[in-house]
Homo-oligomer: A and B are copies of this chain.
């Protein structure tokens, strides 16, 4: 079978972007590249829906998150981090390793953070300098209530709000200013439809001001202040990821043609169709409140370990994702973010029906997922929507 990719990152890269990136490389200090860089800046602000600076590093999303911690906080600063999945816990581990003092809010995997419990922790620790939340927890498919947290944190002039929007940006309507997000982090290989290799972060004036004149967790390569200074001159602090930036310009222009509202609606449609399709197979969803990026499904009774994703991999050459860490062998995850459309959802559901059957699960009517998902997807069958 042909190779198909329905995992939450890297996500498929559009053909036109691959083609653009395969043109001969250009030097980063040329008028040509200065134009690319500028177009990317304009496009990134559009995509982030922000007037803040949007910085780019040659790292993954994790790398630019480290840069944000190092650049905006001081050693021993208290930060509230929120568990509930692999990435939420990662930011707590990172804070600890960087010499910050994480105050961890535990959340059972699959559930949402309770805003009140964070408010309580903030009250008990008025010297907390940052709260870190994952908007879309990729390991569970949960959408956390970052809007609720943002409102509380905005009232505190000495505390910033850092949001991992790695699988939220370009998927649903998230905005630094409106949602009170001081640092909004993303990466290239998710909703942005590029190969891995670039990290992005918007930084609020509040965050820049708060960090001024305070000691920092010294970084050299990972230094957002340096990147900000270079950006003011239309450059990056270190050699830019030239090829990916050229792809980024193309991706942003594709997204602008589709329009933000259409992008958000498409993702909402695909996500709802996937969830409804799974439920039509009598499968149970994991997420208390689901993200529109990825749908996590409990293995049904009798289907063990990674049978679904391994079956798809080995017999259909199709990559979805399994569970990670605490959820390893218990769930499978199907992504629907980035360069992904209505027919991809139907393809994924049909393949999953077959593999479930092969694995001995038959508590569904064949075709049920397609029957349930199709009416939801039908609005996508429209003229003027082709990319």
A319 — which chain B residues lie within 8 A by C-beta?
Answer: 26-27, 29-30
Give the docked Cα–Cα distance between A244 and B25 (Å).
13
Total residues of chain A contacting the partner, CB 8 A: 55
A60 — which chain B residues lie within 8 A by C-beta?
Answer: 58, 221, 238-239
Is A9's CB within 8 Å of the partner chain B?
A: yes
Is A12's CB within 8 Å of the partner chain B?
A: yes
A240 — which chain B residues lie within 8 A by C-beta?
Answer: 196
A218 — which chain B residues lie within 8 A by C-beta?
Answer: 97-99, 217
A94 — which chain B residues lie within 8 A by C-beta?
Answer: 220-221
Is A368's CB within 8 Å of the partner chain B?
A: no
Evaluate contact between A3 and B24: CB separation under 8 angstroms.
yes
Binary interface encoding of chain A residues 14-38 relative to chain B, with 1 for a CB under 8 A from any of its CBs, else 0? 0100110111111111111000000
Is A222's CB within 8 Å of the partner chain B?
A: yes
Is A63's CB within 8 Å of the partner chain B?
A: yes
Evaluate contact between A195 and B99: CB separation under 8 angstroms.
no
Cβ 8 A contact of A219, one of B10, B97, B187 = B97
Evaluate contact between B196 and A242: CB separation under 8 angstroms.
yes
A56 — which chain B residues lie within 8 A by C-beta?
Answer: none
Evaluate contact between B21 and A5: CB separation under 8 angstroms.
no
| Nearest CB in chain B: distance from A16 CB, A | 11
Is A186's CB within 8 Å of the partner chain B?
A: no
Is A86's CB within 8 Å of the partner chain B?
A: no
A196 — which chain B residues lie within 8 A by C-beta?
Answer: 28, 58, 239-243
Is A235's CB within 8 Å of the partner chain B?
A: no
Within 8 A of B (CB), among A176-201: 187, 189, 195-197
Question: Looking across the interface, which residue of chain B has its beta carbon closest to that of A94?
Answer: B220
Interface residues of chain A: helix, strand, loop or mixed (majority):
loop
Cβ 8 A contact of A25, one of B12, B28, B29, B99 = B12
Is A127's CB within 8 Å of the partner chain B?
A: no
Binary interface encoding of chain A residues 289-329 relative to chain B, with 1 for a CB under 8 A from any of its CBs, else 0? 00000000000000000000000010000010000000000
Is A7's CB within 8 Å of the partner chain B?
A: yes
| Nearest CB in chain B: distance from A62 CB, A | 5
Evaluate contact between B66 and A58: CB separation under 8 angstroms.
no
Cβ 8 A contact of A221, one of B13, B24, B66 = B66
Is A205's CB within 8 Å of the partner chain B?
A: no
| Nearest CB in chain B: distance from A41 CB, A | 19
Cβ 8 A contact of A93, one of B5, B19, B29, B220 = B220
Is A140's CB within 8 Å of the partner chain B?
A: no
With A58-B63, A244-B197 as known contacts, state yes or no: A5 contacts B18, CB within 8 Å. no
Give the docked Cα–Cα distance between A217 and B217 (Å).
10
| Nearest CB in chain B: distance from A291 CB, A | 18
Evaluate contact between A21 and B24: CB separation under 8 angstroms.
no
Cβ 8 A contact of A5, one of B25, B58, B59, B313 = B25
Within 8 A of B (CB), among A221-275: 221-222, 238-244
Give the docked Cα–Cα distance between A313 and B23 (Å).
19
| Nearest CB in chain B: distance from A60 CB, A | 5
With A7-B27, A10-B25, A60-B238 known, 4 other A-B pairs at CB within 8 A are A10-B239, A29-B319, A58-B197, A222-B222
Closest 8 CB pairs of A and B: A22-B22, A195-B243, A27-B319, A94-B220, A63-B221, A18-B22, A66-B221, A196-B239
